[in-house]
Amino acid sequence: MIVDKNEISLSGVIGDPIAHSKSPLIQNFWIKKNNLEGYYIPIKIPKGEIKKKISCVKELGFKGLNVTVPHKVDAFYLADKLTIEAQKVGAVNTLYFEDGLIIGDNTDTFGFKNCILRNFPFYNFKKEKVLVYGAGGAARAVLAVFLNERTSEIRLINRTKERAIELKEVFSDSIKVFDWKNNNEALDGVTTVVNTTSLGNLGHDSFPHTLKGVKKNGVGVDLVYNPLETSFMKKAKQEEINCINGLDMLVYQAMPGFKRWFKKKPVYSKELRKLLEISLLRR
């Protein structure tokens, strides 16, 4: 391949709404740190318009895109090729435009696994008994990780039970589905809890359940990161569960895209974490 030294690398994130996205902060931080000639921009695309708009973005010479709400499933069907991770999860959050093709990937599995290992270096997936709250796109990635790691017991609870049952059917019969009202039963003897719902997000209802029943010093992960201390984290604290917010997962899921578009390995530094925290506190 002939590399044009004056080439400007472009990538971005598509979604609706998109103004709140932290992806531009993360990706442009890495672009600067690597002295690259490049830009990463947020692009608002309303639901149902991805197919039409994406071909324009591709024509403009973008290397690829991150994909957020509400396009993750549409992007899955639109891609010419899918990575194994995207196939496993059934949704796409990263696109690579390569050799005229649109390749769909899912980096949430990488993000989730690495955020756990960064915060709990001795975490033994196989020994855990986990309860996952929620049955949307984020839950699919989390379930895919636990199943891949052969976690000893995986439980799932969602307000709309049918959606949880659908995931059990798609992913594995070994997943135990609980009724939203039977939270106490679902938590009994659990060692890890994960919130993949939007509960606790700024402007949404707080996480309503108690986390009583989880082993003391167990692990908690809330995929919500705004506010930085979420309602799920507060509930976890009451039960002496070591709980993190979703900021680390956000950064890790951004890494594979950057690496493949810009051919440089991004680093998750304290400086980046601080910048993200400041930007969230300002809101």
In whole angstroms, how close is the CB of 157 to ligand ATR at the nearest point?
A: 9
Q: What span, in angstroms and rounded, lies between the C-alpha atoms of 283 and 272?
A: 17
> Closer CB to ligand ATR, residue 31 or residue 211?
211
In whole angstroms, how close is the CB of 73 to ligand ATR at the nearest point?
A: 9
> Closer CB to ligand ATR, residue 97 or residue 252?
252
> Closer CB to ligand ATR, residue 4 or residue 162?
162
In whole angstroms, how close is the CB of 200 to ligand ATR at the nearest point?
A: 10
In whole angstroms, how close is the CB of 60 to ligand ATR at the nearest point?
A: 28
In whole angstroms, how close is the CB of 10 to ligand ATR at the nearest point?
A: 26
Q: What span, in angstroms and rounded, lies between the C-alpha atoms of 144 and 151?
A: 11
Q: What span, in angstroms and rounded, lies between the C-alpha atoms of 257 and 131?
A: 29
> Closer CB to ligand ATR, residue 31 or residue 247?
247
Phi, psi (deg, nearest 5) at residue 153: -145, 130
**Which residue has the closest beta carbon to ligand ATR?**
136
Determine whether 72 is an active site residue: yes
Q: Which two tokens stand for residue 216?
A: 């003391």
> Closer CB to ligand ATR, residue 75 or residue 135?
135
Catalytic residue among 22, 63, 72, 113: 72
Q: What span, in angstroms and rounded, lies between the C-alpha atoms of 117 and 104?
A: 25
| Interacting residues toward ligand ATR by CB under 6 A | 134-139, 158-160, 163, 196-199, 205
Catalytic residue list: 72
